[in-house]
Amino acid sequence: MEAFLVSLTTIAVAEIGDRTQLLSLVLVARYRKPLPIIAGILCATLANHAAAGLLGLWFGKQLEPKILEIVVAVSMIGMALWTLKPDTLKEGAVSISAAGAFFATLTGFFIAEIGDKTQIATVALAAAYPNLAAVVLGTTLGMLAANAPVVFLGKAFADRLPMKAIHYAASALFLILGAAFLLRALWR
């Protein structure tokens, strides 16, 4: 249960203000069909985070527990610093296909998540927790928790969020997780 809850909260908070939220806004403005967009986010995130989770699980088996926890701690602290830099969605970075809201979301989200902080966090979480299903389910639901309100409420919702405070809170969460993993490594 810990793996699921840590994964869910970490990704939900870290995702606020991320470029995939901006992509959600673009998609909902273009298609105005929230349910296919949500389905596309779900499928793309499951695929992307399952691959990241498998990679993390492999890393977790390669390293001895103390070293693994230090690596996870350092990556979480790195994520804390990365979270302080707001994401932007470059004009034309993701072309929106006429093939429909679902396909455009599926491809757009999958590509946008490659190398993103939530994908790297998923690798680290899967390395730290042996329950791959709990990590992938948690990170996927965290992604949906952050993006579904944007899809349903659109730009009016996003414009009212205190983004600076949210980025600081997400950074603090990553720092706390990093410190917790570091302490666990030192107590081994």
Given a cut of 60, whether residue 88 has pLDDT beyond it is no
C-beta separation of 29 from 104 below 8 A: no
At residue 97, the pLDDT reads 42
Among candidate residues 87, 73, 81, 88, the one with its CA nearest the CA of residue 168:
81
Most confident of 50-59, 87-96, 151-160: 50-59
Q: What is the mean pLDDT of the chain?
A: 82
CA distance 30 to 101: 8
C-beta separation of 76 from 181 below 8 A: yes
CA distance 130 to 151: 32
Q: What is the mean pLDDT of residues 71-77?
A: 78
At residue 156, the pLDDT reads 61
At residue 73, the pLDDT reads 79
At residue 94, the pLDDT reads 45
What pTM was estimated for this model as a whole? 0.73
List pLDDT tens digits, range 32-58.
Answer: 788 999 999 999 999 999 999 999 999
At residue 98, the pLDDT reads 38
At residue 55, the pLDDT reads 94
Given a cut of 50, whether residue 122 has pLDDT beyond it is yes
